[in-house]
Amino acid sequence: NTDQTNQFQLTLNGYTKLVTDRIKQGWSCYLVTILFQQLAGSRPTIISRMKKEIQRVYSTLITRVHRRPRTASPDELPILIGAVDLPVFKLDRSSAPLVRCNAGLHFHALILIPDRSRLREPLQDHFQAHAHLYGMGGAISKIDVRLVTDGYERVVDYVFKTIKRGRVSYDE
Protein backbone atom coordinates (compact mmCIF):
# COMPACT_ATOMS: atom_id res chain seq x y z
CA ASN A 1 0.00 0.00 0.00
CA THR A 2 1.51 3.31 -1.17
CA ASP A 3 -0.06 5.38 1.63
CA GLN A 4 1.41 3.08 4.29
CA THR A 5 4.81 3.16 2.55
CA ASN A 6 4.76 6.97 2.42
CA GLN A 7 3.65 7.18 6.06
CA PHE A 8 6.40 4.79 7.14
CA GLN A 9 8.99 6.83 5.18
CA LEU A 10 7.80 9.96 7.01
CA THR A 11 8.24 8.06 10.30
CA LEU A 12 11.80 7.10 9.32
CA ASN A 13 12.53 10.70 8.32
CA GLY A 14 11.27 11.81 11.75
CA TYR A 15 13.58 9.34 13.51
CA THR A 16 16.50 10.49 11.36
CA LYS A 17 15.77 14.13 12.23
CA LEU A 18 15.54 13.27 15.94
CA VAL A 19 18.92 11.51 15.77
CA THR A 20 20.68 14.25 13.79
CA ASP A 21 19.21 17.01 16.01
CA ARG A 22 20.51 15.25 19.15
CA ILE A 23 23.94 14.69 17.57
CA LYS A 24 24.15 18.43 16.82
CA GLN A 25 23.48 19.02 20.54
CA GLY A 26 26.47 16.84 21.48
CA TRP A 27 24.75 13.52 22.15
CA SER A 28 26.38 10.15 21.33
CA CYS A 29 24.67 7.61 19.07
CA TYR A 30 25.13 3.85 19.33
CA LEU A 31 23.84 0.99 17.18
CA VAL A 32 22.89 -1.83 19.53
CA THR A 33 22.12 -5.42 18.54
CA ILE A 34 20.54 -7.62 21.19
CA LEU A 35 20.56 -11.38 20.76
CA PHE A 36 18.43 -13.64 22.94
CA GLN A 37 18.61 -17.14 24.32
CA GLN A 38 15.98 -19.52 22.93
CA LEU A 39 12.58 -18.25 24.11
CA ALA A 40 9.53 -20.52 24.26
CA GLY A 41 6.26 -19.76 22.50
CA SER A 42 4.79 -18.50 19.27
CA ARG A 43 6.33 -15.65 17.27
CA PRO A 44 4.06 -12.99 18.90
CA THR A 45 4.93 -14.39 22.36
CA ILE A 46 8.66 -14.34 21.61
CA ILE A 47 8.48 -10.76 20.26
CA SER A 48 6.49 -9.67 23.32
CA ARG A 49 9.11 -11.20 25.64
CA MET A 50 11.91 -9.51 23.69
CA LYS A 51 10.16 -6.13 24.01
CA LYS A 52 9.82 -6.63 27.77
CA GLU A 53 13.54 -7.41 28.02
CA ILE A 54 14.38 -4.31 25.94
CA GLN A 55 12.19 -2.19 28.23
CA ARG A 56 13.98 -3.66 31.25
CA VAL A 57 17.39 -2.88 29.68
CA TYR A 58 16.26 0.70 29.01
CA SER A 59 14.84 1.08 32.53
CA THR A 60 18.18 -0.02 33.96
CA LEU A 61 20.20 2.22 31.63
CA ILE A 62 18.10 5.31 32.30
CA THR A 63 19.04 5.26 36.00
CA ARG A 64 22.73 5.00 35.08
CA VAL A 65 22.45 8.05 32.80
CA HIS A 66 20.40 10.30 35.11
CA ARG A 67 20.16 10.28 38.90
CA ARG A 68 16.41 11.08 38.99
CA PRO A 69 14.86 9.98 35.69
CA ARG A 70 11.24 10.41 36.87
CA THR A 71 11.69 14.15 37.39
CA ALA A 72 14.13 14.71 34.52
CA SER A 73 13.33 16.57 31.32
CA PRO A 74 13.17 14.34 28.20
CA ASP A 75 16.24 16.27 26.98
CA GLU A 76 18.24 14.75 29.85
CA LEU A 77 17.26 11.10 29.27
CA PRO A 78 18.64 8.55 26.82
CA ILE A 79 16.54 7.73 23.77
CA LEU A 80 16.04 4.20 22.46
CA ILE A 81 14.68 3.70 18.94
CA GLY A 82 14.41 0.04 18.08
CA ALA A 83 12.76 -2.72 16.11
CA VAL A 84 12.66 -6.48 15.99
CA ASP A 85 14.78 -7.85 13.14
CA LEU A 86 15.36 -11.01 11.15
CA PRO A 87 18.67 -12.07 9.62
CA VAL A 88 19.30 -11.36 5.94
CA PHE A 89 21.21 -13.63 3.59
CA LYS A 90 24.93 -12.81 3.46
CA LEU A 91 27.47 -14.29 1.09
CA ASP A 92 30.20 -13.57 3.63
CA ARG A 93 28.94 -15.32 6.78
CA SER A 94 31.92 -14.08 8.85
CA SER A 95 30.22 -10.68 9.27
CA ALA A 96 26.87 -12.19 10.25
CA PRO A 97 25.89 -12.34 13.92
CA LEU A 98 25.12 -15.76 15.34
CA VAL A 99 21.33 -15.65 15.10
CA ARG A 100 20.13 -19.22 15.14
CA CYS A 101 17.49 -19.36 17.84
CA ASN A 102 14.01 -17.79 17.99
CA ALA A 103 13.66 -18.33 14.22
CA GLY A 104 16.34 -15.66 13.77
CA LEU A 105 14.45 -12.92 15.63
CA HIS A 106 16.69 -10.40 17.36
CA PHE A 107 16.55 -6.69 18.12
CA HIS A 108 18.30 -3.63 16.70
CA ALA A 109 18.20 -0.24 18.38
CA LEU A 110 19.76 3.15 18.29
CA ILE A 111 20.55 4.46 21.74
CA LEU A 112 21.21 8.16 22.07
CA ILE A 113 23.07 9.28 25.19
CA PRO A 114 22.89 12.95 26.24
CA ASP A 115 26.11 14.92 26.47
CA ARG A 116 25.46 15.41 30.19
CA SER A 117 25.32 11.90 31.56
CA ARG A 118 26.37 10.01 34.67
CA LEU A 119 28.02 7.37 32.45
CA ARG A 120 31.77 7.71 32.74
CA GLU A 121 32.64 5.24 29.97
CA PRO A 122 31.45 4.57 26.42
CA LEU A 123 28.18 2.63 26.27
CA GLN A 124 29.82 -0.57 24.97
CA ASP A 125 32.18 -0.59 27.98
CA HIS A 126 29.28 0.11 30.34
CA PHE A 127 27.22 -2.83 29.04
CA GLN A 128 30.26 -5.10 29.21
CA ALA A 129 31.19 -4.06 32.76
CA HIS A 130 27.59 -4.41 34.00
CA ALA A 131 26.42 -7.38 31.91
CA HIS A 132 24.65 -8.96 34.91
CA LEU A 133 22.45 -5.84 35.35
CA TYR A 134 21.26 -6.06 31.76
CA GLY A 135 20.21 -9.71 31.79
CA MET A 136 23.11 -11.23 29.90
CA GLY A 137 23.27 -14.84 30.87
CA GLY A 138 19.50 -14.79 31.35
CA ALA A 139 17.09 -14.14 28.47
CA ILE A 140 19.70 -11.99 26.68
CA SER A 141 22.71 -13.80 25.26
CA LYS A 142 24.61 -10.82 23.83
CA ILE A 143 24.46 -7.04 23.52
CA ASP A 144 26.67 -5.73 20.72
CA VAL A 145 27.25 -1.96 20.83
CA ARG A 146 28.85 0.16 18.08
CA LEU A 147 29.41 3.90 18.17
CA VAL A 148 27.81 5.63 15.15
CA THR A 149 29.70 8.71 13.98
CA ASP A 150 28.07 9.42 10.62
CA GLY A 151 25.53 8.07 8.12
CA TYR A 152 22.63 8.49 10.54
CA GLU A 153 19.96 8.17 7.84
CA ARG A 154 21.53 4.89 6.70
CA VAL A 155 21.67 3.50 10.25
CA VAL A 156 18.02 4.44 10.95
CA ASP A 157 17.11 2.59 7.73
CA TYR A 158 19.19 -0.37 8.91
CA VAL A 159 17.37 -0.59 12.26
CA PHE A 160 14.01 -0.72 10.43
CA LYS A 161 15.08 -2.78 7.38
CA THR A 162 12.96 -5.85 8.22
CA ILE A 163 9.85 -3.69 8.67
CA LYS A 164 10.65 -1.77 5.48
CA ARG A 165 10.86 -5.06 3.56
CA GLY A 166 7.54 -6.24 5.02
CA ARG A 167 9.03 -9.25 6.86
CA VAL A 168 7.83 -7.91 10.24
CA SER A 169 4.95 -5.49 10.76
CA TYR A 170 5.57 -2.06 12.31
CA ASP A 171 3.17 -3.03 15.12
CA GLU A 172 5.32 -6.04 16.03
For the stretch 124-164, pLDDT in tens is 999 999 998 998 888 999 999 999 999 999 999 999 888 88
Q: What is the pLDDT of residues 63-74, one digit of tens each?
A: 999 999 999 998
25 to 37, 38, 102, 155, 172: CA distances (angstroms) = 37, 39, 38, 19, 31
Q: Which residues lie across from 109 on neighbouring strands?
A: 32, 82
Tell me how far apart the alpha carbons of residues 105 and 65 are, in angstroms, rounded to a whole number. Answer: 28
pTM value is 0.88
Torsion, Cα 41 35 93 161, to 10 degrees, reads: 80
Report the sign of the C-alpha dihedral through residues 150, 152, 154, 159, in that order.
positive
Q: What confidence score (pLDDT) does residue 16 get? A: 94
- CA 167 to mean position of chain CA atoms: 18
